[in-house]
Amino acid sequence: MRIRRFQVLASDCVNMRDTAAKVAGKPDEEAFAPSGKSEGGDELKCFKKKDC
């Protein structure tokens, strides 16, 4: 069950990054939550590249 939940959450992160890239006006606006937190301040559990 935990693995399945992780898979679903990881998939949601990928989908959100793809959506952000589609609606961004410029390439530098494509980043999704670069701080790693939501607008409400909650920590997001998404994996990011180390250089991001």
Provide CB contacts within 8 A for 9, sequence distance 6+.
45
pLDDT at 19: 82
Do 28 and 21 form a contact (C-beta atoms < 8 A)? no
Q: What is the pTM of this model?
A: 0.44
Tally of domains within the chain? 1
Its domain, for residue 9, covers: 1-52
Summarised one tens digit per residue, pLDDT across range 27-49 is 766 666 767 777 777 877 766 66
Distance of alpha carbon 35 from alpha carbon 7, whole angstroms = 22
